[in-house]
Amino acid sequence: MGSLVEFVGTIDLSPLWVTLKTTGTAIVIVFLLGLAAAYFSLRMPPRLQDLADSIFTIPMVLPPTVCGFILLLALGRNTAVGQWFIDVGFPLVFSWPATVIAASVVAFPLMYRSARGAFENLDPNMLDAARTLGWSEPRIFFRLMLPLAWSSIAAGTVLAFARALGEFGATLFLAGNYLGVTRTIPMAIYFEWMNGNTDVAIFWTLIIMLFSFIVILFVNLWSRRTTRYRHASEGGAS
């Protein structure tokens, strides 16, 4: 036991904080953007919808390294956008924001697709009924679409979270491997193992497994609680 504490004491825990910060920020961004993309893409004309859907989904099918490389080309110092961000002191490549961008881009399609599928499954008559009762579109979204689609959206969030947590390829390209800045746990596992520190690699592997399990379990429990009206006959309000 003592030797375990001693062992953990020797490990630099910064990859854990970088990962938490990165994944936490990315999941908020992905959650909001994914819902917005799903909501607005369904209101587009069909042809535009197909085009938008293809663009939103493509990071899911591309290898993460390709995503990272494209992002590097688009946001690096060779483009006006990239240069501008460097000039204002907020570089988008090889910096902490780069880890967030990489994780968000790669996780986004999972969120978007889940939300879109959930919205498509809602009965359009239900939403029309709300309209004829005078409900505004934002009210319909927050009071009807979100609660009714919630379990699918929660599932999408879990998938996106897992994807963001495990992001490696795009992060390596766009953010690099700077200890304490961009070295996330997946990055740490790879480089520790490369340097022969197998014990440390195993430590990080266990941490990430435990962490993933807890988060998924939490979301599942929470999702059941917020869709309690469906299981109403099992007890509760009656």
Partner 1 sequence: MSLEVRIKKALPGFALDVEFDSGDETLGFLGASGCGKSLTLKCIAGIEKPDEGRIVVNGRVFFDSKEGVNLSPQERKTALLFQNYMLFPNCTVAENVAAGLGRDVPKGERARIVDAELKRFGLEGFGKRYPSQLSGGQQQRVALARMLAAKPGILMLDEPLSALDAHLKGVLEQNLAGLFDAYQGTILYVSHDIDEALRFCDRIAVVDSGRIVEMGTGDDLVNRPRSLAGLKLSGCKNATPARKSGPYSVWLPKWGVELTSAVEVPENVACCGVRARFVERADGPGENCFRMRVDRVSDSRFERMLLLGFIDRDEADVPTVDAHEDEMKYLHQHLFWRLPRIGESELRLPQVGEEVWVRIPKDKIYLVTE
233 contacts partner 1 (rule: CB under 8 A): yes
Q: How far is residue 172's CA from residue 72's CA, in Å, rounded to a whole number?
A: 10
Q: Among 88, 123, 196, 225, indicate the residue that binds partner 1 (CB under 8 A).
A: 123
Q: Among 136, 179, 218, 224, indicate the residue that binds partner 1 (CB under 8 A).
A: 136
230 contacts partner 1 (rule: CB under 8 A): yes
Closest distance between partner 1 and the C-beta of residue 144, in Å? 6
Q: How far is residue 99's CA from residue 170's CA, in Å, rounded to a whole number?
A: 8
The per-residue b/e assignment along 165-174, b for 16 or more CB within 10 angstroms, e otherwise, is: bbbbbbbbbb
Q: Among 3, 6, 125, 194, indicate the residue that binds partner 1 (CB under 8 A).
A: 125
Which of 157, 174, 150 has the alpha carbon at shortest distance from 225? 150
**Structure token pair of residue 128:** 């029309």
63 backbone φψ class: left, alpha, beta (φ>0; ψ -120 to 50): beta
Residue pair 115/156 in contact by the 8 Å Cβ criterion: yes
Q: Among 24, 63, 147, 180, indicate the residue that binds partner 1 (CB under 8 A).
A: 147
Closest distance between partner 1 and the C-beta of residue 126, in Å? 5
Closest distance between partner 1 and the C-beta of residue 176, in Å? 46
For partner 1, give the closer residue by CB, 3 or 233.
233
Q: Which residues, in sequence order, are CB contacts of 195 under 8 Å at separation 6+? A: none
Q: Which residues, in sequence order, are CB contacts of 198 under 8 Å at separation 6+? A: 192
234 contacts partner 1 (rule: CB under 8 A): no
Q: Among 32, 128, 195, 221, indicate the residue that binds partner 1 (CB under 8 A).
A: 128
**Footprint on residues 1-40 left by partner 1 (CB under 8 A):** none
135 contacts partner 1 (rule: CB under 8 A): yes
Count residues binding partner 1 (CB under 8 A): 23
- Tell me the CA distances in angstroms from 216 to 115, 156, 209, 226, one per residue in order: 17, 11, 11, 15
224 contacts partner 1 (rule: CB under 8 A): no
Return residues touching partner 1 (CB under 8 A).
Answer: 123, 125-126, 128-136, 143-144, 147-148, 227, 229-230, 232-233, 237-238
